[in-house]
Structure 1
């Protein structure tokens, strides 16, 4: 008997849908529907085992083994899903196949009213790709620039019309940007970005931090990159001492010798052997503030100034603190929009 099926687009009009992802954790962590709950039918080891059986002994053997493994989990599974029975629940696996269908069938056989997601995660990915291909900003776009450590991200967190691309990517967008960050996959990044874009239709404007084409391993989609690069540019000016302290506070909890030294080695082609060796010496001596200052003055600042030399800035704002500076930028933009 077929089970109730619904497309992802159809669920978007629901007030509080609950998505349950029954894929293995190794699949879920790479990407999933935002806010989905992971209740895996098979754990990572079981999934790999069943996959091996499928390729070596055929579909029937893999199916029987899958049923055998899943049957041992029925009590716990039904106990979990019973906590959701009063909600609008959509269950999905990779293709909307046997994993999600069997769970929906089982739950509905005892009185629940759950749905299977049509096409599963794969169909959801089609939605994400199409959305990013077709998306157009309908409000003015602004871009905040500033040297490393200027406090751009801190400021943007206090502006209500900002999208934090680095948060979506799980990376601070530099060689050191992965430290203390989850480093999301491209697919996860796109899912988070679509989730953000779907909420901004009523915004007065949208402001981003100036980024290159990539944040860590994530490529910024063209619809966002083009708007970001063509947005009205604002420069955030922050004294060197504050920049050094910002970077120290942000990265110091994650700095270890076995992590830092290989990163410094990657700077050698641009900084040269002597400067790279000097950076390592500063670190080993515990002169972290001096190391940060040296890296800024001899690597990051020249690189950033070169990359922004052709940008015309509509305003220069002096960093005071995140809240005050955010308020100044917001007022500046609102004044411009009201003209």
Structure 2
């Protein structure tokens, strides 16, 4: 029988050396977090895992192993007939479970008997998690970060994506965290990933960056929605120089109406977001904003939020700003052509 190999590290370069990284944990565990690029071929479903665990604790350990083995055999057989059915003889999978124990070894034994050169990640998912923690919590990131700054509604996220389209290196924190980073920033029907998943996605991006080239990142706060920017990246951002986008309040109000169309169309979500303002508006102000929303005058509502909430908050934070300013770039009317021109101007200034 072909031997099973062991991998004792979980850096991205090591993981990508395999034809597939197979996470055999339950779908619920996989959804919470997994190694970048991993596919989920569970040997126990969420319900089966719960059943086996209950039998193990409340009845009999031998019975739990027997019941679990039957489920594992049936599930691995199904994977061999579906997801793995067309894999060639030279297929090289890497398998992991929670701690590199029974679940991953059960799958590995069967796959190795098929004839595939099979490897198990020692320590399982927890080895990956320790690697993430070491990189994002305990170390320093040798990156040439440049912050994309500016008032709310000046198109920072869109400019960041246009920089990427022009070949620049970017870290899209809002995309990774599934949140637009402001009070109205949630995406309808798209929950944020877990903190661990956010960090795994982030590290996957960081490991693909060239430290010799500049990396653009939006000047977020230390949290993007409910997800915390890990300390290593936050410390690098705190020391990075800024490029600031500028536009008139009227242009920004028009842009916010376009960018937050999903929130505008969900009146209950809009009303709840307005009530969650850090400085609670009085009843008269809330009533006035409700009248604007009722009338469909969302540009006037956005302009009121800019003038009464967002800009005062930004001015307060700007007074504490110590990071260097590389320049201010006019984003014009914040139309697509204006934002593309702003991206080109940012790249020109950074290159100078």
What is the TM-score with the length of structure 2 in the denominator?
Answer: 0.87
Q: Secondary structure at the match of 1:96?
A: coil
Return the alpha-carbon distance in structure 2 between the equivalents of residues 190 and 61 of structure 1.
38
Residue 10 of structure 1, CA deviation: 6.8
Q: Structure 1, residues 199-222: CA drift from partner, whole Å, max 9, x if none? A: 223442122111111111111122
- Cα gap change, 1:319 to 1:121, in 2 (>3 Å): same
Q: What residue number does 2:340 align with? A: 323
Q: What residue number does 2:7 align with? A: 6
Q: What residue number does 1:205 align with? A: 214
Return the alpha-carbon distance in structure 2 between the equivalents of residues 45 and 258 of structure 1.
35
Residue 269 of structure 1, CA deviation: 4.3
Return the alpha-carbon distance in structure 2 between the equivalents of residues 74 and 192 of structure 1.
28
Residue 25 of structure 1, CA deviation: 1.5
- Cα gap change, 1:44 to 1:234, in 2 (>3 Å): same
Q: What residue number does 2:335 align with? A: none
- Cα gap change, 1:285 to 1:11, in 2 (>3 Å): closer
The more displaced of 1-10 and 296-305 is 1-10
- Of residues 235, 255, 261, the one that matches 1:252 is 261
- Of residues 281, 285, 288, the one that matches 1:271 is 281
What do you get for the CA RMSD once the two structures are aligned?
Answer: 2.2
CA contact (8 A) 2:18 2:93 kept: no
Q: What residue number does 1:155 align with? A: 159
- Cα gap change, 1:60 to 1:243, in 2 (>3 Å): farther
Residue 198 of structure 1, CA deviation: 1.1
CA contact (8 A) 1:271 1:299 kept: no
Q: What residue number does 2:99 align with? A: 95
- Of residues 171, 174, 179, the one that matches 1:166 is 174
Residue 332 of structure 1, CA deviation: 0.3
Return the alpha-carbon distance in structure 2 between the equivalents of residues 163 and 104 of structure 1.
36
Structure 2 counterparts to residues 159-238 of structure 1, below 5 A = 159=163, 160-180=168-188, 181-238=190-247
Structure 2, unpaired ranges of 5+: 333-337
Q: What residue number does 1:313 align with? A: 325
What is the TM-score with the length of structure 1 in the denominator?
Answer: 0.90
CA contact (8 A) 1:161 1:203 kept: no
- Cα gap change, 1:59 to 1:293, in 2 (>3 Å): farther
- Cα gap change, 1:205 to 1:11, in 2 (>3 Å): closer
The more displaced of 149-158 and 284-293 is 284-293
